[in-house]
Amino acid sequence: MSSHMRAIQVLLVEDDAADVRLTEEALKASRFSLKLEAVDDGEKAIRYLRREGEYRAKQRPDLIVLDLNLPRKDGREVLLEIKHDEDLKKIPVVVLTTSNAASDVAKVYAAGGNCFVTKPLDFADFQKAILGIEDFWFSIARLPE
């Protein structure tokens, strides 16, 4: 990767510490230079994205990976808030969740989610899913400037 490219900022919104670690592990195999930040509830996610309080100095993420089942503010609400915010709605949001309910899938896309991925139980599959997501977003998809 050329050295002038800055690291791709990924915000992971995930309350399960084990899943945060798994995602970090999975991203180690990435061919991109990534910087992963994690927050563990929906309210923190919104504060982070709006750079409020302790998140003032944070960079805006290039990609948000969002779990649906979160404490304090659920992932579905977070997604709606992001997609109704002129400032944030261009950031792609990948929903990564244990749910594979058709109703959740439909709601995520209706709310403006860009991608719905059910968490695989096996690490190799999980890693494949994560690397597939970032490969798609950073080498195939064209994002708004």
- Ranges under pLDDT 50 in the chain: 1-4
Q: What pLDDT does 138 receive?
A: 76
pLDDT of residue 4: 44
- The residue among 59, 120, 48 whose CA lies nearest residue 131 is 120
Domain boundaries, the chain: 8-139
pLDDT tens for each residue of 129-142: 778 877 877 776 66
Give the separation between CA 1 and CA 102, rounded to whole angstroms. 38
Whole-model pTM: value is 0.85
Tokens 């709606």 found at: 80
CATH ID of 8-139, from 3.40.50.1980, 3.40.50.300, 3.40.50.2300, 3.40.50.12280 = 3.40.50.2300
